[in-house]
Chain A
């Protein structure tokens, strides 16, 4: 099962741990409805769309309200520390959380006590804290954009805002930034770098680049990175190896964006709705699920 850990931008939203469903443009967790516009709700909506297509179980949410003051995040760190050793998840995607280095370290210790080590994905604030703590290499996948990659590449920066100017956030510098991030042990086992060209890399090499379809308007749309993380998390949880899942997710995300015919004013739910169509096309192209033993039971639409 996939666990998704993150926050909801509502200080009154309770700490809830349960399966998450999608109802129209809202996710639902234990009678709480959350509009899908960006953030962890968008990640979950994308993961659910992917799971629905793959006929897989729903994701399990660890959600709490937090508008940046940190109270919700702190409660969630504490709960994870207590509860994870008792749980069994195939994959955990950590997302929008206020970064607390020591609490993140405690959660990693709790993960090590789990009977089966899950695949660990970190994006957004949790990727920041993973890097800040010097524990990046304990994670299996980071999904930075170009600005965040520059932050990973800068061994001195504790947050993207402090990335030094000589480490340029330019698309043509991506391979160099990836190398630098790995050289300083500030990257996860795999990187999925999202940008006008998406890069999938590990410590040894750049494994793939995906640059089509090119939809310029995706960049300003809040939540496109979140849905990419949702798709890749769902694919990994379905048994696909991380690098192949990252390649497929990047293709699906770009194609879903293309089908949505977005402008810079488009909201991310319009792209999420195109995920099944994009998955169908990409799966036909890649014949992904004929080559993956874990997917033999899946019957595409």
Chain B
């Protein structure tokens, strides 16, 4: 069975069932955004991680866009998970959307996937992560030490141990790599 089915249809990452009334959840740090995203998606909510509007940007930021009609239940869920948002703000203008384009480079024995500024490379036969490169936030070297040398099936995901927007970007590349490997 081929491990790399490049013709496989990409799953839609967009959410087309959201209503027109949107809000954003603002958190203390990116680590909380990543955790909240996992919890809310696991609970079946239609949410998206997006870039914050300029007036609340402080640096390396992400927010969660959600249907305002669900505010009460979503905030309650997050409180129960002990990651209540700092602010809940209605969306008045379009938000920046994270990259959903990937560059794939085949090196023969190795395969590299790049999402924006982050790259992950594996050995195609063993599925061992052989290199992680790119990025500028301090968790990138940390993620590399935790993931390089481990199999795609065993390595911790950036979502689990990353804390920044670069970690989140690496997660996108990592998910695309898993998809290409039919994992």
**How many angstroms from the CA of A72 to the CA of B135 in the assembled complex?**
18
Contact of A162 among B99, B132, B136, B172 (CB under 8 A): B99
Say which residue of B96, B112, B163, B169 sits within 8 Å of A158 (CB atoms): B96
As a 0/1 sequence over residues 1 to 28 of chain A, the CB contacts with chain B under 8 angstroms (1 = contact) are 0000001111000000000000000000
| CB atoms of B116 and A163 under 8 A apart | yes
> Please, which residue of chain B has its CB at the minimum distance from the CB of A124?
B136
User: Is A125's CB within 8 Å of the partner chain B?
Assistant: yes
Q: Which residues of A lie under 8 Å from residue B167 when comparing CB positions?
A: 68
Query: Is A67 touching B144 in the complex (CB atoms < 8 A)?
Result: no
Residues in A neighbouring B59, C-beta threshold 8 A: 98-101, 129, 132
Interface string of A124-145 (1 = CB under 8 A from B): 1111110010000000000001
- Please indicate the chain B residues that have their CB under 8 angstroms from the CB of A267 in the complex: 131
A interface residues, tally (CB under 8 Å): 59
B133 and A221 contacting across the interface, CB-CB below 8 Å: yes
Q: What does the 1/0 interface line of B117-140 toward A look like (CB < 8 Å)?
A: 101010100000011111111111
> Using Cβ atoms and an 8 Å threshold, which residues of chain B touch A217?
107
Stretch at the interface among A54-62, A222-230, A285-293: A222-230
Query: Which chain A positions have C-beta within 8 A of B98?
Result: 161-162
Known: A9-B145, A96-B136. A68 touches B162 (CB 8 A): yes
- Cβ-neighbour of B131 out of A8, A9, A216, A221 (below 8 A): A221
Minimum C-beta distance from A2 to chain B (A) = 20
- For window 143-172 of B, CB contacts with A under 8 Å fall at 144-145, 148, 162-169, 172
Pick the most buried of B103, B123, B145, B162: most chain A CB atoms within 10 A of its CB.
B145
Which one of A40, A97, A161, A266 contacts B99 once the chains associate, using CB atoms below 8 Å?
Answer: A161
Q: Does B60 contact A (CB under 8 A)?
A: yes
Known: A158-B61, A160-B169. A265 touches B138 (CB 8 A): no
A252 to B132, CA, bound (A): 23
Check if B119 sits within 8 Å of A68, measured CB to CB. no
Distance in Å from the Cβ of B119 to the closest Cβ of chain A? 6
Task: Answer yes or no: B58 CB below 8 A from chain A CBs.
Answer: yes
Contact B110 A159 (CB under 8 A): no
CB–CB A72/B138 < 8 A: yes
- B110 and A38 contact, CB distance less than 8 A: no
Q: Within the complex, what minimum Cβ distance (angstroms) separates B48 from chain A?
A: 13
Contact across chains for B96 and A70 when beta carbons are under 8 A apart: no
Whether B142 is near chain A, meaning CB under 8 Å from some CB there, is yes
Determine if B76 is an interface residue (Cβ-Cβ < 8 Å).
Answer: no
A257 at the interface (CB under 8 A from B): no
Residue pair B96, A68 in contact (C-beta under 8 Å): no
B residues lining the A interface (CB < 8 Å): 29-31, 51, 54, 57-61, 96-99, 101, 103, 105, 107, 109-110, 112, 114-117, 119, 121, 123, 130-142, 144-145, 148, 162-169, 172
Other A-B pairs, 20, CB within 8 Å; known A69-B29, A162-B98: A7-B141, A9-B141, A39-B138, A67-B139, A67-B163, A68-B31, A69-B163, A96-B137, A101-B58, A151-B117, A158-B61, A159-B51, A163-B99, A165-B101, A220-B105, A222-B132, A223-B133, A263-B107, A263-B109, A267-B131
- A-B residue pairs, 6 tightest by C-beta: A68-B139, A68-B163, A124-B136, A39-B141, A9-B142, A125-B136
Binding site for B on A (CB under 8 A): 7-10, 37-41, 66-70, 72-73, 96-102, 123-129, 132, 145, 147-148, 151, 156-163, 165, 169, 216-217, 219-225, 263-267
21 pairs, CB–CB < 8 Å, chain A vs chain B: A7-B138, A9-B139, A40-B141, A41-B141, A96-B136, A96-B140, A98-B59, A98-B137, A98-B138, A99-B59, A101-B57, A128-B136, A147-B134, A151-B117, A156-B96, A161-B165, A216-B107, A220-B130, A222-B144, A224-B133, A263-B107
